[in-house]
Structure formats: C-alpha cells, structure tokens
Amino acid sequence: MKKITLLSILASALIFAGGDIDPIEPVIEAPMVEEPMSAGIPMGLALLGGVMKGEGDDAEWDPVYGAEYSFECLFSEDVRSQIQFTYYDQNDLKMYQLSANPHYIFNKGDAVEVAAGPHIGVAKAELGSEDDIVFTYGLGVSAKAAVTENVFVGAEARYEWTTDAEFNGIEDDLNNAKIFGKIGYSF
C-alpha cells in the first residue's frame, strides 16, 4: 500500500509541476491549388426569344419565347444537353412545349461553338376551348459564344415534326420551324 501511495504522490507532483502543456499538433502541408475547383458539370440558364412558322403557304413567322436549362452530358464533354420550355400564342393557337435537345459540339473550346443534334418533346396545343397533347421530334443546329466568363449568347434553328392534334374533329399536324436567340448565365 505504501508503494501505491508513494507512486500516486510522485505522479501528482509531476503532473502539477509540468503546468500547462500545449498539445502537439501534427504538421500537414496541403498542396497549393492554383485554379478554383469545379463544383460539378458545367450548366447554364438562358432566356429564349425568336419566331416560329407552321407549315402551309399562308403561315407567317410569329413570336415564340421561353427558357432553357443546359448542361454538359455526363458521358461526353462534347455533348451539350438542353431542356427547353417554349410558349407560342398566335391566331387562337397556343402551344406550351417542353423539349430535350442534345447537341454534339463540333468545335469545343472555340470562341463560337457550333453544334447540331436531335430534338424530342411534348407540347400542349390549345385552339379556342379545345386542347390536345402532341409529341414533337426534329433536328436543330445551334451556336454559342461567351460574352464574359459566365454570360453567353447563342442562336438556334430547328425543324419539328409533330403527331396529329385533333380540334373540332379535324386532325392535323403542328409541324413547324423555329429560329431563336438566347442570352444566359453559365455556372
């Protein structure tokens, strides 16, 4: 028992004699990062504005506008995927369209990138008090140029075929051509 008491007193004396002891922290040198790290795949949001023309001799170019969400394809940095919502309202015909447009970029990294690809979508068409849902598909070409590090402008032209819409017992397609510009922000 005397040995335990003696060792306890000795240990207590050494502890109190040491005072405050700063803990030793390991030194880890982290590598210097020159460029900011990417937070993921390149994406962008844009506003669209342009014209749309249906088929037929009496068809005219009428306004169309919308919004676009674009992102680099997960499988290839040479493909830019675009999800677009467009709205058209002319001569009692309204069309709300949601479409997907993957475009292959032919000259990635140039000042103006040129791309082309397919289009697939769905549209709700309203004529007077009737409405119908049609599927759309087609081909398009686009161009995109950076104005600043994050702001870009672009243009797109597309031809779309549609399934037949039925209004007042009459079936007809809503095939059309669209040309529009866009201004957006990349992040």
Q: How confident is the model at residue 40, as a pLDDT?
A: 75
Residue partners of 102: CB distance under 8 A and separation at least 6: 73, 79, 80, 81, 82, 117, 118
Alpha-carbon distance of 184 to 44, in angstroms, equals: 7
Pick from 52, 129, 127, 57: nearest CA to 84:
52
- % of the chain residues with pLDDT over 90: 62
Alpha-carbon distance of 110 to 108, in angstroms, equals: 6
Pick from 52, 104, 59: nearest CA to 82:
104
**pLDDT score of 187 more than 60:** yes
Write out pLDDT tens, residues 39-90.
578 899 999 999 999 887 788 999 999 999 999 988 888 999 999 999 999 8
Mean pLDDT calculated for residue range 88-111: 92
Contact (CB, 8 A) for 144 and 112: yes
Q: How confident is the model at residue 37, as a pLDDT?
A: 47
Alpha-carbon distance of 117 to 78, in angstroms, equals: 12
Q: Where are the strands (E) in the chain, listed by range?
A: 43-54, 62-72, 79-90, 93-105, 112-127, 130-146, 151-162, 165-167, 170-172, 176-186
- What is the assigned CATH class of domain 43-186? mainly beta
**pLDDT score of 31 more than 80:** no
Pick from 110, 104, 112: nearest CA to 141:
104
Cα–Cα distances (Å) from 159 to 38, 42, 141, 162, in that order, read: 35, 27, 10, 10
- % of the chain residues with pLDDT over 70: 79
Q: How confident is the model at residue 55, as a pLDDT?
A: 86
Placement of tokens 């919308």 in the chain: 66
Q: How confident is the model at residue 125, as a pLDDT?
A: 95
Higher pLDDT, 109 or 9: 109
Write out pLDDT tens, residues 149-165.
999 999 999 999 999 99
Contact (CB, 8 A) for 167 and 132: yes
**pLDDT score of 112 more than 50:** yes
Cα–Cα distances (Å) from 185 to 48, 146, 150, 166, in that order, read: 12, 9, 5, 39
Mean pLDDT calculated for residue range 94-110: 93
